[in-house]
Amino acid sequence: MTELTEIIRKGEDSKTQFKERFHSPDALGAEISAMANSEGGIIIVGVSDAGGIVGIEDVRGLNQMISNVCSQKIEPPISVITENVIYKNKLIIMINVPIGENKPYAVNKGDFWIKVGSDKRRASREELRRLMQASGNLYADEMPIPDTSLSDADMYIFRRFYEDQYGSDPDKAGLPVERLLTNLKLMKGKNLTLAGLLLFGKRPETVRPQYVVKGVAFTGNDVGGNEYSDSEDIAGPLSMVFKNGMAFLRRNLKKLQKGRSFNFPGIPEIPEIALEEALVNALIHRDYFINSGVRLFVFDNRVEIISPGKLPNTVTTENIRYGIQIVRNPILLSYASKLEIPYRGIGSGIIRMISECRKAKIRMPEFIENKDADLFKVVFFRDGR
pLDDT tens digits for 83-117?
Answer: 999 999 999 999 999 998 889 999 999 999 999 88
Q: pLDDT tier at 385 (50, 70, 90 boundaries)?
A: very low
The overall average pLDDT reported for the chain is: 90
Q: pLDDT tier at 311 (50, 70, 90 boundaries)?
A: confident
Task: Confirm if 56 and 91 have CB atoms less than 8 A apart.
Answer: yes
> Stretch 136-152: mean pLDDT, rounded?
92
Q: Report pTM.
A: 0.80
Task: Confirm if 192 and 186 have CB atoms less than 8 A apart.
Answer: yes
Q: Return the number of other C-beta atoms located less than 10 Å from residue 287's C-beta.
A: 22
pLDDT of 15 reads 93
**Is 4 exposed, middle or buried (CB count within 10 Å of its CB: 0-12, 13-18, 19+)?**
middle
ω into 104 cis (within 30 of 0):
yes
Measured CA distances, 365 to 236, 275, 352, 362 (Å): 28, 10, 11, 9
Q: Measuring CA to CA, which residue among 138, 242, 233, 241 is closest to residue 193? A: 138
Instruction: Give the model confidence (pLDDT) of 208-222 as tens digits.
Output: 999 999 999 999 998
> Stretch 333-348: mean pLDDT, rounded?
83
The one-letter code for the residue type at 353 is M
**Is the pLDDT higher at 335 or at 325?**
335
**Is 218 exposed, middle or buried (CB count within 10 Å of its CB: 0-12, 13-18, 19+)?**
buried
CATH, domain 209-381, list 3.90.420.10, 3.30.565.60, 2.60.40.2380, 1.10.10.10: 3.30.565.60
Task: Confirm if 284 and 336 have CB atoms less than 8 A apart.
Answer: yes
- CATH code, residues 2-136: 3.30.950.30
> Stretch 117-143: mean pLDDT, rounded?
88
pLDDT of 76 reads 95
Q: Which residues of 367-383 are buried (b: 16+ CB within 10 A; e: fewer)?
A: bebeeeeebbbbbbbbb
pLDDT of 347 reads 66
Weakest mean pLDDT among 28-42, 183-197, 214-228, 334-348: 334-348
Q: Which residues of 308-324 are buried (b: 16+ CB within 10 A; e: fewer)?
A: bbbbbbebeeeebeeee
pLDDT of 322 reads 66
pLDDT of 204 reads 96
Query: Coil, helix or strand for 44?
Result: strand
For helices 238-251 and 272-284, angle between their N-to-C axes, nearest 10 degrees: 140
Q: Measuring CA to CA, which residue among 297, 283, 277 is closest to residue 343? A: 277
Q: Which helix (H) or strand (E) holds 65?
A: helix 59-68
**Is the pLDDT higher at 326 or at 11?**
11
pLDDT of 171 reads 86
pLDDT of 145 reads 97
In the chain, domain spans: 2-136, 141-203, 209-381
**Which strands, in side-by-side order, build the sheet including 41-45?**
16-19, 41-45, 90-97, 81-87
> Stretch 42-69: mean pLDDT, rounded?
94
**Is the pLDDT higher at 4 or at 259?**
4
Weakest mean pLDDT among 66-70, 278-282, 317-321: 317-321
How far does Cα 315 stand from its chain's mean position?
9
Give CA–CA dist 97/95, Å, rounded. Answer: 6
DSSP 270-334: S-HHHHHHHHHHHHHSS-TTS----EEEE-SSEEEEEEESPPPTT--TTGGGGT----S-HHHHH
pLDDT of 257 reads 61
Answer yes or no: same fold for 2-136 and 209-381. Answer: no
